[in-house]
Amino acid sequence: MSKELTSRAEDYSQWYNDLVIKGGLADYSAVRGCMVIKPYGFALWENMRDQLDRMFKDTGHVNAYFPLFIPKSFLSKEAAHVEGFAKECAVVTHYRLMNDPNGKGIIVDPDAKLEEELIVRPTSETIIWNTYKDWIQSYRDLPLLINQWANVVRWEMRTRLFLRTAEFLWQEGHTAHATKEEAVEEAERMLNVYADFVEAYMAVPVIKGIKTASERFAGAENTYCIEALMQDGKALQAGTSHFLGQNFAKAFDVQFLNKENKKEFVWATSWGVSTRLIGALIMAHSDDQGLIMPPKIAPVQVVIVPIYKGEESKVPIDAKANEIIAELKALGISVKYDNSDNSRPGWKFAEYELKGVPVRMAMGLRDMENKVVEVARRDTKEKKSMPMDGLANNIKKLLDDIQQNLYNKALAFRTENITIADSWEDFVKRLDNKGGFISAHWDGTAETEEKIKEQTKATIRCIPLNNKQEAGKCILTGNPSKERVLFARAY
RNA sequence: CGGGAUGUAGCGUAGCCCGGUUAUCGCGCCUGGUUUGGGACCAGGAGGUCGCAAGUUCGAAUCUUGCCAUCCCGACCA
């Protein structure tokens, strides 16, 4: 394995790919546009998933599972929805293979054509609402608060590890409510859950907002989102929560009897975050030495590297290490003890830095005599000796400190990179110079939004929640505007 | 689907322009030994349809044509 990562300044996407691959998270697979998530990357995803799942359950949701395949006719029931997803669907047309009569391997059996094609889900609204029709009759059946952890397929033209793969893992919540107010409240609640998770666990600050009509989810009445800023100045949509109105209820005829014994269509939400969050994590924190994992979701929080001098010193070092490991584990800290003999300490140091393990401890006979260990933190690369006495508690504090420091650093970066533009020239200059979020006036029309996108590649990332109302002039057209919106180039 | 590039051992590569013994080097891997405080060293060893297919030639990794695949930049998108 090559030791150096490509410098960020040189080629950001190469740097990103190196981080993912050399950091041991994932790799390209034999299938175009799909990736293999390696054990280290999957452990990270599991930590994120488990925490999110707890938060969903704390807000009253339960998990279920719906089919991978969606009959083609389901997808077309909601007009905007099919319009949005039709271009990127994988379609199952046959159910059997056969030997090629010409002896050239195996072919699709032409006699095994499906009556109705099946779509591999790009999202599950349709199959779920088709099911909800059977589950909902009365107001007593509401609200219905269900989440599923699943994989989905979107046949993208161009893919990027974690950020945009043909298949990805995610969770999708689908809820049904008796009133519009309740549904809106739910969509906002889940947006807050996402924001809390990303900020508190991933240490990535986000901006909560709503999408403009043209950036809205296909079939939604309103799309809430959290937007994060990456180190190259581009924005990343980290999660979305949709108020679906009664669109899907009407498309799938899901009605309930209210207390007055009158039929009403139910109100819906859906919300999701995906393995893309891992991409956000990488691009928000990593440096030229490799990944940096926030302690709260790091697959390994502490790695201990023993320093041997000859076979006989292994015994006492191993013994002491095991004591320390037991103390750390008692505090719920995940530890890896790497006493493998096939690589030397220096190699291990570099390797765990590449993988982003928050805290590294090195311990040799010298340290044992002095009753200390060498502790190095990944975020600042600061090294110091810490006494064995009270070590576990001090490491716990250190992990908290690293978590906080990562967040502060990312927040400072983002604050620095939200700027205001009041003229078109300034707007374009800021985009080209350092990127970031640019707060500017917009006349509110889709046409202007489109023109800005064409000319600058910048899109409106969101209209921040509780946005300050302020009269101004549109950056492009000069038409009146009542508030600023956030523009950025995005992934 | 447009523009660019690349395909040689598990990974990274040299050789290609100008055809010529047994295809280069590094990492990794295997065996033995010495080592271990920032990517160790010595000795020995295994590993190759040079992306695929045709063609030119006495002879092709190298030249020609076609195909395939991948990556990067666009369009599309979470």
Burial class (CB in 10 A: 0-12, 13-18, 19+), A38: middle
* Inter-residue contact A244 to A269 (CB < 8 Å): yes
Q: Quote the pTM value.
A: 0.95
A311 beta carbon < 7 A from strand B? yes
Asked if the bond preceding A143 is cis, omega within 30° of 0, the reply is yes
Whether CB of A444 is under 7 Å from strand B: the answer is no
Nucleotide nearest to A159 (CA to C1'): B77
The torsion angles phi and psi of A27, rounded to 5 degrees, stand at -155, 165
H or E segment at A395? helix A391-416
The nucleotide minimizing the C1' distance to residue A366's CA is B37
- Please identify residues in chain A, positions 169-188, with a C-beta within 7 angstroms of any atom of strand B: none
DSSP secondary-structure letter at A260?
T
Please name the nucleotide lying closest to A164, CA to C1': B78
Residue-level pLDDT, tens digit, chain A, 491 residues: 233 565 555 567 778 888 898 899 988 877 778 888 999 999 999 999 999 999 999 999 999 999 999 999 999 899 899 988 988 898 899 999 888 777 666 788 889 999 999 999 999 999 999 999 999 999 999 999 999 999 999 988 888 889 988 899 999 999 999 999 999 999 999 999 999 999 999 999 999 999 999 999 999 999 999 999 998 889 999 999 999 999 999 999 999 999 999 999 999 999 999 999 999 999 999 988 899 999 999 999 999 999 988 888 889 999 999 999 999 999 999 999 999 888 899 999 999 999 999 999 999 999 999 999 999 999 999 999 999 999 999 999 999 999 999 999 999 999 999 999 999 999 999 988 888 999 999 999 999 999 999 888 899 999 999 999 999 999 999 999 999 999 999 98
Q: Is the CB of A276 under 7 A from strand B?
A: yes
CA distances, A322 to each of A278, A306, A327, A337, A363 (Å): 32, 11, 9, 8, 12
| Strand B, CB < 7 A, residues 290-309 of A | 307-309
Nucleotide nearest to A454 (CA to C1'): B75
Question: Which pLDDT score, from 0 to 100, does residue A157 have?
Answer: 80
pLDDT at A1: 28
Closest CA to A38 of A53, A61, A20, A15: A20
Determine whether the distance from the CB of A253 to the nearest atom of strand B is below 7 Å: no
For residue A264, the model assigns a pLDDT of 98
Alpha-carbon span A120 to A153, nearest angstrom: 6
The residue count for chain A: 491
CA of A168 to C1' of B19 (A): 48
DSSP code at position A482: E
Is the CB of residue A144 less than 8 Å from the CB of residue A129? no
A290: region left, alpha or beta (phi > 0 left; psi from -120 to 50 alpha): left
Distances, alpha carbon A20 to alpha carbons A307, A458, A469, in Å = 29, 26, 41
- Residue A212: the pLDDT is 95
In A 363-382, which Cβ lie closer than 7 Å to strand B?
A: 363-367, 374, 376, 381
Give the pLDDT score at A342.
82
Which positions ≥6 away from A360 have C-beta within 8 Å? Answer: A302, A303, A304, A305, A349, A352, A353, A375, A376, A378
pLDDT at residue A2, rounded to an integer? 32
Question: Residue A23 burial by CB count (10 A; 0-12/13-18/19+): exposed, middle or buried?
Answer: buried
Q: What is the DSSP code string of A425-448?
A: HHHHHHHHHT--EEEEE--S-HHH
DSSP string, A358-392: SEEEEEEHHHHHHTEEEEEETTT--EEEEESTTHH
pLDDT for A335 equals: 97
pLDDT recorded at residue A395: 98
**Distance (Å) from CA A14 to C1' B53?**
33
Residues 462-491 of A with CB under 7 A from strand B: 490-491
Give me the pLDDT at residue A3, please.
Answer: 37
Q: pLDDT at position A101, please?
A: 77
Structure confidence at residue A5 (pLDDT): 61
Residue of A214, A267, A208, A218 lying closest to A239 (CA atoms):
A208
Distance B57 C1' – A106 CA (angstroms): 38
The letter for the amino acid at A47 is N
Nucleotides of B under 7 A from a protein CB: 1, 11-12, 27, 29-30, 35-40, 69-78
What is the Cα A306 distance to its own chain's centre? 35
* pLDDT score at A6: 57
A345 touches strand B (CB under 7 A): yes
Distance CA A10, CA A226 (A): 29
Q: Which residues of A282-320 are buried (b: 16+ CB within 10 A; e: fewer)?
A: bbbbbbeebbbbbbbbbbbbbbbbbbbeeeeeeeebeeb
